[in-house]
């Protein structure tokens, strides 16, 4: 490859693209070519219908050879679209690809203007700028970064589980970190899944067991990521492992210790059953928990709190010695190449809408609470009961609680319509209660979902269209005595109704996790204004983030159902796999570098760098930029008081000559 | 503890029992009230629906006088005044065109208003500034056995729920419990009393008052405690018409300050309780503790 390093003998080829009529309709392309032809250093100047087509690219390659071009400028669309194409064409013609400069006369010109003469003048000015700038380009080499083959997955819900299994099955090592004592996430709490009504546990638990037994997967439950350092391919992650006071290797899940606990009866609200059931201080979160290892709640266990317990649990485990009250919090460090974030969602707190009475009226439930009531391993062994133990004769579902609401969350949580209809069908199946669903719109767009809606209607579930105003217990008529009354404007019937029911289910929406902002900072990701992790592109890069080597899957990116979460998890695993199997990535060499002789060692650049790419060499008293971390944002370049920081492709002379060109 | 006091028209007329009970109670608690000099109509109801800026000028004149006379928080007992003064503060802060019109009008009366006056409700001041502990100390005749339905009405909590929850306020509940009363669960505590509809569209307006009264009776309340002159009037003055339409639902509606005064040992007369159309049921009066 020729380097053509000297600026003296510059031979520029210029190409202006018609882009069919996208550019040519508003810019006089032959006139632009004619104008550029007369500029200093230009050897060839052409206009062509589609520069990105194969013949267009060949034109560049031929000209490089025939006319000994050592600079190429193409005026066409956005560099985001085709810079890569034309750089490759230059390389194929034997020219270092960084001798190429692109001018955007489509998005920046023809598409946004309506005066052909002025748009043509603008195209000429932009082209002139590029011709001036390209003269100062230098030959650069992309930096190559090796990819560590292991992957970290944060979050052991269905998305994290699926991504872990895919990578592990491909022979890659995976560490799966889960905050709770068991993996499974929200899916483990569900009874049936819509629209097929297959049992959630039956389809989830085989995958959970596979995680535990897979030789390529290290499972760390009851653990959290504390620190992430490094860059794509080379992340160093510190994981905090909370003490569960049980040796995971020794415990076989026999639960003798739970029976032996000094608390004879379960006494404390059980997280898995959303507080509807009780557990002891030593417990297994749920029957299918993975790992099948007990855990001790440090806030409830007398021994942990006071050190003054008879420790009957330890006696019960005398032959295995799995209980270990000396366990301390551990910090472990691992090295990985990629990270998949699948941290899920938090349910909307229904007490934030006090007019629906959650927390005030005992028989107002959330949909997740009802899910546990319907489940045969739940606190009522599957019987749908009011708090007083009676069977409800009528149930009302209120949709969009904390969704599509200007006062709380504006977004649609996407799953609640279907989830509520599923629960409604289960109620109809298990009891003879009347069920009414209060909705604004029924959103059932998934595969098989509209059919499910049809079935709900045929099953005799009532649908009332209207945003419920309030849930109350004041009675106007004898039928309302002792009932919860739903006050709603029925927008189809056109009047205000009062509908008395025994049980109310609030379809609470999804929210970003409470600590989503901390996770975002930890991993240097972005969040949407609502707090969901932001994908790199809403359509074309839905699981990538703005940080290379970090991918997102499942509900941490936005509300979605199980199939969509799994699809994203698969996509994230495939993205990681493609980096791992290639083994390296090439990075754009538009990075900043330090002219060491000029650096005064003032350190002012170090805190400014958003990517923590700058460190300080104490022995030399100079700043050092780590090229693999640098994203080329230019903040340090602009701020350096001694002007010793420069940036490839954005050198002062390149920028100034570009400005001169555009002003000429 | 010193506040400017804006009585508004109600407390000098229809709702004078509110003032008659508020003033001694506040004095008893060591709260100094200075009635705003040369106050005028707050701008409520009719003005507001005709021209918000003009109504705002009326309200802002009061705010400006309060700001220039020591800048104390402005105690505003009437719910309608409380809402309009707060709304005007918001309008001045958020809408430059209304702000300009109001400032221009104030200038012609040699007044200025920078926006600093805080509009406070007596409930807010009693519970948050004075404190329930201090109030408890002053209780000499606990309202033991008196079942009270706490009724807040709409204007103090919505849309500017400045000191309590908009849907389930509890400040008065806690205050009444401090007086020794039994607070009954009253889910209608912020439901409309009928407002001016009792006069303009009685069929609808009276029905709303009736619902409030009936539910309080159904809940076993002896009395309804309110914080708004219009609510008190609607729920007290129309019993004949309500009874004729839906059957008797006799229950007294009094100001919460009247119940405070009773607990503090004041006589019914001193608190204006004789002004009620439907009197509070006589109940055995325990001796005042020494």
| Chain A CB contacts of B168 below 8 Å | 354-355, 360
Is the pLDDT at A557 greater than 80? The verdict is yes
Question: How far off is chain B from A471, nearest CA to CA, in Å?
Answer: 10
Asked if residue A657 belongs to a domain, the reply is no
Q: What burial letters (b/e) apply to A344-378, b meaning 16+ CB within 10 Å?
A: bbbbbebeebbbbbbebbebbbbbbbbbbbbbeeb
Residue B214 has a CB neighbour count (10 Å cut-off) of 19
- Chain CA centroid to CA A523, Å: 11
Q: How far apart (Å, rounded) are the C-alpha atoms in residues A369 and A653?
A: 66
Question: How far off is chain B from A170, nearest CA to CA, in Å?
Answer: 55
Q: How far is CA B137 from CA A256, B131, B175, B179, B263, in A?
A: 56, 10, 13, 10, 11
| Per-residue pLDDT, A419 | 98
| Chain B CB contacts of A487 below 8 Å | none
* A472/A499 same-domain check: yes
> Helices A116-134 & A29-37, crossing angle to 10 degrees?
40
Is the pLDDT at A580 greater than 90? The verdict is yes
Identify the weakest region by mean pLDDT among A29-38, A73-82, B48-57: B48-57
Q: How far is CA A213 from CA A185, A206, A219, A558, in A?
A: 19, 11, 10, 31
The residue in chain B having the minimum alpha-carbon distance to the alpha carbon of residue A469 is: B167
Q: How far apart (Å, rounded) are the C-alpha atoms in residues B158 and A3?
A: 73
- The partner residues of A14 in beta bridges, in order of sequence, read A45, A73
Asked if residue A580 belongs to a domain, the reply is yes
Query: Which domains, ranges and CATH numbers included, belong to chain B?
Result: 2-120 (1.20.1050.140), 138-275 (3.40.50.11810)
Percent of chain A's residues with pLDDT above 70? 99
Question: How far off is chain A from B185, nearest CA to CA, in Å?
Answer: 10
Q: How far apart (Å, rounded) are the C-alpha atoms in residues A18 and A15?
A: 10
Question: How far off is chain B from A476, nearest CA to CA, in Å?
Answer: 8
Contact B211 A476 (CB under 8 A): yes
Identify the weakest region by mean pLDDT among A35-44, A114-123, A624-633: A624-633
Q: How far apart (Å, rounded) are the C-alpha atoms in residues A484 and A491?
A: 21
Domain interval for residue A180: 144-185+200-241+329-342+521-587
| Per-residue pLDDT, B281 | 79
Q: How far apart (Å, rounded) are the C-alpha atoms in residues A269 and A369?
A: 13
Question: How far off is chain A from B157, nearest CA to CA, in Å?
Answer: 13
* A86/A131 same-domain check: yes
Name the one residue in this structure whose structure tokens are 């003064």: B85
Q: How far apart (Å, rounded) are the C-alpha atoms in residues A544 and A629?
A: 17
Q: What is the mean pLDDT of residues A551-561?
A: 98
Is the pLDDT at A634 greater than 70? The verdict is yes
Contact A474 B165 (CB under 8 A): no
For residue A37, give the CATH number of its domain. Answer: 3.40.50
* A277/A388 same-domain check: no
| Chain B CB contacts of A475 below 8 Å | 215, 218
All residues at 6 or more sequence positions from B277 whose CB lies less than 8 Å from its CB, including other chains: B236, B237, B239
Contact A474 B215 (CB under 8 A): yes
| Chain A CB contacts of B218 below 8 Å | 474-475
Which A residues, 440 through 499, put their C-beta within 8 Å of a C-beta on chain B? 470, 472-476
Percent of chain B's residues with pLDDT above 70? 97
Q: How far apart (Å, rounded) are the C-alpha atoms in residues B74 and B65?
A: 10
For residue A644, give the CATH number of its domain. Answer: 3.30.70.20
CB-CB: which of A354, A470, A474 is closest to B165?
A354
Q: How far apart (Å, rounded) are the C-alpha atoms in residues A417 and A414?
A: 7
pLDDT digit string, tens, across residues A205-226: 999 999 999 999 999 999 999 9
* A37/A113 same-domain check: yes
Asked if residue A662 belongs to a domain, the reply is no
B64 contacts B112 by C-beta, under 8 angstroms: yes
Size of interface A-B (CB pairs under 8 A): 19
A228 contacts A522 by C-beta, under 8 angstroms: yes
* A603/A572 same-domain check: no
The residue in chain A having the minimum alpha-carbon distance to the alpha carbon of residue B166 is: A354
The residue in chain B having the minimum alpha-carbon distance to the alpha carbon of residue A476 is: B211
Would you call A354 an interface residue with chain B, using a CB distance cutoff of 8 Å? yes
pLDDT digit string, tens, across residues A435-460: 999 999 999 999 999 999 999 999 99
Q: What burial letters (b/e) apply to A577-603, b meaning 16+ CB within 10 Å?
A: bebbeeeebebebbbbbbeeeebeeee
Largest CA distance in chain B: 60
Contact A355 B167 (CB under 8 A): yes
| Per-residue pLDDT, A363 | 98
* A338/A285 same-domain check: no
Burial of A518 (0-12, 13-18, 19+ CB in 10 A): exposed
| Chain A CB contacts of B210 below 8 Å | none
- Chain CA centroid to CA A470, Å: 35
Would you call A355 an interface residue with chain B, using a CB distance cutoff of 8 Å? yes
Which of A511, A534, A553 terminates a domain? The answer is A511
Would you call B161 an interface residue with chain A, using a CB distance cutoff of 8 Å? no
Mean pLDDT of chain A: 95
| Per-residue pLDDT, A22 | 96
| Per-residue pLDDT, A546 | 86
Q: How far apart (Å, rounded) are the C-alpha atoms in residues A515 and A343?
A: 10
Q: What is the mean pLDDT of residues A603-615?
A: 91
The residue in chain B having the minimum alpha-carbon distance to the alpha carbon of residue A473 is: B187
Contact B168 A360 (CB under 8 A): yes
Is the pLDDT at A503 greater than 80? The verdict is yes
CB-CB: which of A354, A474, A476 is closest to B168?
A354
- The total number of structural domains in chain A stands at 5
Question: Quick one: tokens of B122?
Answer: 């007596």
Question: How far off is chain A from B170, nearest CA to CA, in Å?
Answer: 12
Is the pLDDT at A405 greater than 80? The verdict is yes
Coil, helix or strand at residue A627: coil
| Chain B CB contacts of A476 below 8 Å | 211
Name the phi and psi angles at B37, rounded to 5.
-75, 135
From the candidates B151, B152, B167, which should be mutated to test the interface with A, based on the most A CB atoms within 10 A? B167
Would you call B32 an interface residue with chain A, using a CB distance cutoff of 8 Å? no
For residue A180, give the CATH number of its domain. Answer: 3.50.50.60
DSSP state for residue B184 in the 8-state scheme? P
* A158/A128 same-domain check: no
| Chain A CB contacts of B187 below 8 Å | 472-474
The residue in chain A having the minimum alpha-carbon distance to the alpha carbon of residue B188 is: A474
Asked if residue A664 belongs to a domain, the reply is no
Contact B187 A475 (CB under 8 A): no
| Among A511, A504, A341, residue whose Cα is nearest residue A412 | A511
| Per-residue pLDDT, A1 | 35
Q: How far apart (Å, rounded) are the C-alpha atoms in residues A640 and B200?
A: 74
**Strands A495-501 and B182-183, sheet pairing:** unpaired
Residue A4's pLDDT band, with cuts at 50, 70 and 90, is very low
Would you call B218 an interface residue with chain A, using a CB distance cutoff of 8 Å? yes
Would you call B247 an interface residue with chain A, using a CB distance cutoff of 8 Å? no
Is the pLDDT at A5 greater than 70? The verdict is no
Coil, helix or strand at residue A242: coil
Coil, helix or strand at residue A604: coil
Is the pLDDT at B246 greater than 90? The verdict is yes
All residues at 6 or more sequence positions from B31 whose CB lies less than 8 Å from its CB, including other chains: B1, B2, B3, B125, B129, B130
Identify the H or E element spanning A175.
strand A174-177
| Among B97, B103, B128, B133, residue whose Cα is nearest residue B115 | B103
| Per-residue pLDDT, A2 | 38
Residue B265's pLDDT band, with cuts at 50, 70 and 90, is very high
Q: What is the mean pLDDT of residues A180-188?
A: 97
Q: How far is CA B112 from CA A86, B2, B11, B100, B115, in A?
A: 67, 22, 27, 12, 9
Asked if residue A361 belongs to a domain, the reply is yes
Is the pLDDT at A3 greater than 80? The verdict is no
The residue in chain A having the minimum alpha-carbon distance to the alpha carbon of residue B169 is: A354
* A170/A40 same-domain check: no
Question: How far off is chain A from B221, nearest CA to CA, in Å?
Answer: 14
From the candidates A360, A473, A474, which should be mutated to test the interface with B, based on the most B CB atoms within 10 A? A474
* A227/A123 same-domain check: no
Question: Quick one: tokens of A28?
Answer: 């006089």
* A56/A103 same-domain check: yes
The residue in chain B having the minimum alpha-carbon distance to the alpha carbon of residue A359 is: B168
Name the phi and psi angles at A184, rounded to 5.
125, -35
* A382/A478 same-domain check: yes
Would you call B187 an interface residue with chain A, using a CB distance cutoff of 8 Å? yes
Asked if residue A641 belongs to a domain, the reply is yes
pLDDT digit string, tens, across residues B178-236: 999 999 999 999 999 999 999 899 999 999 999 999 999 999 999 999 999 999 999 99
Q: What is the mean pLDDT of residues A417-423?
A: 98
| Chain A CB contacts of B215 below 8 Å | 474-475
Q: What is the mean pLDDT of residues A298-310?
A: 95
Asked if residue A516 belongs to a domain, the reply is no
Asked if residue A489 belongs to a domain, the reply is yes
Contact B187 A472 (CB under 8 A): yes
> What percent of the residues of chain A are helix, what percent strand, and what percent coil, each to the nearest 5?
30, 25, 45
* A277/A301 same-domain check: yes
All residues at 6 or more sequence positions from A142 whose CB lies less than 8 Å from its CB, including other chains: A586, A587, A588, A589
| Among A178, A240, A256, residue whose Cα is nearest residue A212 | A178
Contact A474 B188 (CB under 8 A): yes
pLDDT digit string, tens, across residues A230-267: 889 999 999 999 999 999 999 999 999 999 999 999 99
| Chain A CB contacts of B217 below 8 Å | none
């Amino acid at each position: 490859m020729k380097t053509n390093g000297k600026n003296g003998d510059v031979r520029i080829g210029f190409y202006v693209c018609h882009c069919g009529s996208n550019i040519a309709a508003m810019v006089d392309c032959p006139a632009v070519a004619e104008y550029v032809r007369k500029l200093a250093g230009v050897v060839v100047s052409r206009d062509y219908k589609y520069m990105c087509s194969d013949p267009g690219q060949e034109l560049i390659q031929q000209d490089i050879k025939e006319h000994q071009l050592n600079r190429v400028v193409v005026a066409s669309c956005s560099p985001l679209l085709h810079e890569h194409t034309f750089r490759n064409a230059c390389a194929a013609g034997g020219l270092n690809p960084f001798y190429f400069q692109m001018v955007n006369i489509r998005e920046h010109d023809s598409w946004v203007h309506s005066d052909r003469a002025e748009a043509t003048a603008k195209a000429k000015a932009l082209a002139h700028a590029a011709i001036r700038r390209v003269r100062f380009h230098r030959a650069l080499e992309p930096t190559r970064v090796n990819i560590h083959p292991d992957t970290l997955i944060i979050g052991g819900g269905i998305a994290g589980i699926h991504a872990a299994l895919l990578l592990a099955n491909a022979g890659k090592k995976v560490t799966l970190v889960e905050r709770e004592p068991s993996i499974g996430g929200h899916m483990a709490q569900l009874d049936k899944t819509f629209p097929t009504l297959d049992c959630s546990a039956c389809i989830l638990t085989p995958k959970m067991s596979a995680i535990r037994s897979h030789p390529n997967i290290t499972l760390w439950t009851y653990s959290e990521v504390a620190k992430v350092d490094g860059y794509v391919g080379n992340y160093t992650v510190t994981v905090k492992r909370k003490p569960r006071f049980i040796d995971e290797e020794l415990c076989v899940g026999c639960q003798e210790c739970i029976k032996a606990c000094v608390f004879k009866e379960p006494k404390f609200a059980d997280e898995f059953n959303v507080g509807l059931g009780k557990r002891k201080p030593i417990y297994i979160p749920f029957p299918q928990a993975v790992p099948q290892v007990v855990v001790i709640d440090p806030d409830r266990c007398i021994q942990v709190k006071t050190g003054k317990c008879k420790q009957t649990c330890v006696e019960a485990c005398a032959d295995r010695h799995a209980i270990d009250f000396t366990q301390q919090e551990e910090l472990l460090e691992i090295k990985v190449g990629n990270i998949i974030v699948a941290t899920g969602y938090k349910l909307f707190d229904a007490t934030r809408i006090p007019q629906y009475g959650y927390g005030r009226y005992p028989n107002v439930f959330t949909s997740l609470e009802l899910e546990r009531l319907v489940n045969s391993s739940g606190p009522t062994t599957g019987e749908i009961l009011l708090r007083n133990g009676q069977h409800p004769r009528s149930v009302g579902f209120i949709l969009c609680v904390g969704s599509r609401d200007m006062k709380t969350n504006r977004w649609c949580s996407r799953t609640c319509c279907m989830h509520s209809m599923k629960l409604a069908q289960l109620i109809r199946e298990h009891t003879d209660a009347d069920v009414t669903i209060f909705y604004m719109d029924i959103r059932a767009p998934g595969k098989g979902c509209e059919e499910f809606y049809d079935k709900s209607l045929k099953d005799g579930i009532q649908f009332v269209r209207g945003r419920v105003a309030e849930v109350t217990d004041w009675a106007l008529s004898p039928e309302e005595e002792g009932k919860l009354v739903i006050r709603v404007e029925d927008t189809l019937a056109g009047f205000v109704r009062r509908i008395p029911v025994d049980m109310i289910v609030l379809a609470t929406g999804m929210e970003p996790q409470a600590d989503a902002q901390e996770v975002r900072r930890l991993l240097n990701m972005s969040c949407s204004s609502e707090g969901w992790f932001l994908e790199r592109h809403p359509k074309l890069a839905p699981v990538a983030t703005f940080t290379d080597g970090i991918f997102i899957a499942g509900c941490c990116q936005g509300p979605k159902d199980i199939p969509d979460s799994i699809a994203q998890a698969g996509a994230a695993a495939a993205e990681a796999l493609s980096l791992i199997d290639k083994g390296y990535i090439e990075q754009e060499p538009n990075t900043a570098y330090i002219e060491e002789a000029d650096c005064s060692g003032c350190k002012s650049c170090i805190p400014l760098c958003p990517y923590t790419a700058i460190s300080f060499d104490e022995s030399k008293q100079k700043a050092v930029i780590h090229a693999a971390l640098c994203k080329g944002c230019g903040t340090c370049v602009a701020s350096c008081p001694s002007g010793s920081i420069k940036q490839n492709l954005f050198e002062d002379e390149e920028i100034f000559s570009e400005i001169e060109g555009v002003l000429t | 503890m010193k506040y400017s006091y804006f009585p508004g028209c109600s407390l000098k007329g229809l709702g004078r029992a509110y003032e008659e009970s508020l003033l001694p109670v506040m004095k008893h608690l060591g709260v100094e009230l200075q009635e705003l000099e040369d106050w005028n109509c707050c701008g409520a109801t009719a003005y507001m629906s005709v021209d918000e800026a003009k109504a705002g000028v009326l309200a802002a004149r009061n705010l400006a006088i309060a700001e220039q006379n020591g800048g104390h928080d402005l105690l505003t007992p009437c719910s309608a005044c409380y809402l309009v003064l707060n709304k005007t503060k918001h309008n001045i802060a958020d809408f430059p065109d209304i702000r300009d019109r109001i400032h221009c009008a104030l200038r012609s009366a040699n007044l200025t208003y920078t926006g600093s006056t805080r509009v406070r409700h007596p409930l807010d001041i009693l519970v948050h500034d004075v404190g329930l502990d201090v109030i408890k100390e002053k209780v000499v005749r606990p309202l033991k056995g008196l079942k009270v339905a706490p009724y807040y009405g709409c204007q103090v909590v919505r849309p500017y729920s400045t000191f309590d929850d908009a849907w389930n306020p509890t400040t008065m509940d806690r205050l009444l419990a401090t007086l020794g009363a039994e607070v009954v669960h009253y889910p209608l505590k912020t439901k409309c009393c009928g407002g001016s509809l009792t006069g303009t569209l009685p069929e609808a307006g009276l029905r709303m008052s009736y619902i409030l009264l009936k539910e309080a009776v159904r809940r076993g309340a002896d009395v309804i405690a309110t914080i708004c002159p219009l609510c008190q009037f609607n729920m007290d003055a129309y019993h004949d018409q309500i009874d004729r339409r839906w059957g008797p639902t006799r229950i007294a509606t009094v100001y919460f300050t009247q119940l405070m005064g009773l607990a503090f040992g004041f006589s019914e007369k001193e608190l204006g309780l004789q002004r009620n159309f439907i009197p509070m049921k006589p109940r055995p009066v325990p001796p005042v503790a020494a």
